Amino acid sequence: MKPNSHNFKLNARHALDDKQLQRALAKVPGGFVSKRADARAALPEFDALRDKARDIKNHTLEHLDLYLEEFERKVTEAGGIVHWASDAAEARAIILDICVMVDARVVTKGKSMISEEIALNDHLEAADLKVVETDLGEYIIQLRGETPSHIIAPAVHLNKDQVEEDFRRVHTNLSPDRQLQEPEQLVGEAREMLREQFIATDVGITGANFLIAETGTSVIVTNEGNGDLTQNLAKTHIVIASIEKAVPTLEDAAAILRVLARSATGQEFSTYTTFSTGPRRPGDPDGPEAYHVVLLDNGRAELLGTEFKEVLRCIRCGACMNHCPVYHSVGGHAYGWVYPGPIGSVLTPSLIGVDEAGPLPNASTFCGRCEDVCPMRIPLPKLMRRWRAREFDKGNPPAKQRFALKAWAFAARRPWLYRMGAGLAMPLMAWRGRSAGRFSSLPFVDGWTAHRDFPAPQGRTFQQKWRAEKRKRSRVSQGRGKS
C-alpha cells in the first residue's frame, strides 16, 4: 500500500471527527485490556515467561543466519521449497510465479500482515487472479477496499451496521429480506460465502507466527480455523513470512506461545495453533500437494545492525496498540501504513524511512503502557525517542515547534531563568484559565488542544512547591533536633 504516514496529523484529525470510527474505537480499551489483565493474573509465571521470550528471541537474532539455514534445510528435507526475497517486489514476483505455474484462478488467504506489507493482493489481482481473504475481519475490509486498522483485529474500526451494509451490497444472490442485524447472522453469512471459496481454491496463502529451525515447521495461530481450511483444501500452500519469525526449537515456540495469546486477546491459548511441515506425505488423504515458504527480508537484515534492532523481537500480538491512548483516539488507519500503534511508530520509519514516517514516533504520550504490556519487552518509548532525536537532528519538526522546544531547553539549562519563566507563566495561565479550570486552546500546541483541554494550573509551580516542602521538612527536623 502507498504510505500516508507523513499525513499523520491530518489523518488523526479526520479520525477524531469520524463519529462511526469513534463509536467503534470506544470498545477497544474495555475488551482487550481487561482480558489480558485476567490472563496475566491467572498465570503466576507470566512475567518470568516474558523475560524468557525476550531471551529466546535475542539468542535467535544473534544466530539468525544459522537458524534460517537450518530451517531451509529441514523444509527441503520434508519436500517443501524455500524462496528468499530481498524486498517486496521480489516476494510478489515469486508468489505470482508459483500461482501461474500451477495455473491458479482462485487464491484464498489466511491473515498475514506480511502480505499487507508487500501489497500482495493488488499484484495478484492485476494478473487476473481472484484473491479471497478468509479471516472474517480481513474479508470485511477486502469488501470495502480498506486496509486493516489493527494487526489482529483488522475490522475493529467498523460497527455491525456498516458490515451489514457491505454484505447486502456484495452478496446480491441472497434474499434482500434476510435478517442481518446481529453479529451472529453476519458471521453465519460470511461462513456460507467463504465455504465455496475454500473448496474452489487452487492456492492457499498463509502467514506464519513462527518458523521452527529444528524441524522446518511453519506455525499459524487462529481462532476461526480459516487458515487451516486455506492451507488444507488448496493444492498448493504458500507461507509468506519475514526472516525474524525464526525460533530454534519446538520448546522455544511453546515458551513464546504462552505469552502470545494472553497478550493478544487475553485467551490462554488460541483455538487453533497449527504446525505445518512440508506437503502431503505418501498415504496422506488430504493436505496440500506442494508447500512453499517465501522468506522476506525487506530491510530487516539491515535493521538488525542498528539501534532499533529490538523491534525485531515483536511477535505482532497487538497488546501495545490495545493499551495505547493515541491508538484508542485515532485508530489504526491514521498511522498511514501497515503497522499501527506503538509498534508501527517504531517499525514504520525503520521499514519505509523516517522521511515518510517522521510524524509517527511523535504519535505518543510517552505514558509507557506499551512497554509495560509488551510480551517481548521491547522498549517502545525509548525507540520512539530515538527516532524523534534523529528527526530533530535532521531539522524535521516545523520552525514553530523547534523554537518552542529550543526556548524551553535554553531556560531549562538555566535554573534562574526557568524559575522566573515558570513563576510568571503559572499565575498568568491560572488567571486566564480560571473560569473553566482548563484551556481549550494554547499557543504553540493548538494541534493538541483542538481535541482535548489542557488543565489550568491551580496554584504554584512544582519548584515553588518543592522549595516550600523542603523548608517545612527542615523546620520539622530542626524541631526534632531540639527536643
Partner 1 sequence: MTVRATSSSRERILGRIRSSIGVSADEADRRVRSQKRLYDHDAHIIPSRSQKSHLELVHQFEDILIGQAATVRRVSEMTDVSNVIAAYLREHNLPARLRQGLDPRLEEINWSAAPHIDRLTGPAHPDDTAGLSHAFAGVSETGTLVMVSGPANPTTLNFLPETHIVVVSQSEIVGPYEGAWTRVREVFGERTMPRTINMISGPSRTADIEQTLIMGAHGPKRLLVIINQNS
Residues near ligand SF4, by CB under 6 A: 263, 314-320, 343, 374-376, 378
Q: Which stretch binds partner 1 (CB under 8 A): 60-68, 202-210, 402-410, 470-478?
A: 60-68
Q: Which amino acid would we find at residue 314?
A: C
Q: How far is the C-alpha of 426 from the C-alpha of 282, rounded, in Å?
A: 79
3-state secondary structure of 483: coil
Smallest distance, ligand SF4 to C-beta of residue 316, A:
5
Q: How far is the C-alpha of 358 from the C-alpha of 347, rounded, in Å?
A: 11
Q: Which of 204, 279, 336, 457 binds partner 1 (CB under 8 A)?
A: 279
> What grid cell was written down for 415?
535554573
Q: How far is the C-alpha of 25 from the C-alpha of 381, rounded, in Å?
A: 23
Q: Are 217 and 125 in contact (CB under 8 A)?
A: no
Which 8-state DSSP code applies to residue 213? T
* Shorter beta-carbon distance to ligand SF4: residue 129 or 253: 253
> Of partner 1, ligand SF4, none, which one sits near residue 446, judging by CB under 5 to 8 A according to partner kind?
none
Smallest distance, ligand SF4 to C-beta of residue 64, A:
17
56 sits near partner 1 (criterion: CB under 8 A): yes
- Restricting to residues 74-113, which ones interact with partner 1 according to CB under 8 A? 74, 78, 81, 83-86, 90, 93-94, 97-98, 101
271 sits near partner 1 (criterion: CB under 8 A): yes
Q: Write down the residue that cell numbers 502507498 correspond to.
A: 2
Smallest distance, partner 1 to C-beta of residue 296, A:
9
Smallest distance, ligand SF4 to C-beta of residue 296, A:
17
| DSSP letter string, 142-192 | HHHT---SSSS-TTTT--HHHHHHHHHHH-TTS-TT----SHHHHHHHHHH
> Of partner 1, ligand SF4, none, which one sits near residue 316, judging by CB under 5 to 8 A according to partner kind?
ligand SF4
- Range list of β-strands (E), 404-453: 438-439
Residue 133: left (phi > 0), alpha (psi -120 to 50), or beta?
beta
- Restricting to residues 207-266, which ones interact with partner 1 according to CB under 8 A? 213-217, 223-226, 228-229, 232-233, 243, 248-252, 254-255, 257-258, 265
Maximal CA-CA distance, the chain? 96
Smallest distance, partner 1 to C-beta of residue 97, A:
5
> Of ligand SF4, partner 1, none, which one sits near residue 356, judging by CB under 5 to 8 A according to partner kind?
none
* Shorter beta-carbon distance to ligand SF4: residue 3 or 379: 379
> Of ligand SF4, partner 1, none, which one sits near residue 378, judging by CB under 5 to 8 A according to partner kind?
ligand SF4
Q: How far is the C-alpha of 358 from the C-alpha of 4, rounded, in Å?
A: 11
Smallest distance, ligand SF4 to C-beta of residue 36, A:
10
* Shorter beta-carbon distance to partner 1: residue 248 or 457: 248
CA end-to-end distance (rounded Å), the chain:
75
Smallest distance, partner 1 to C-beta of residue 444, A:
38
Q: Are 244 and 61 in contact (CB under 8 A)?
A: yes
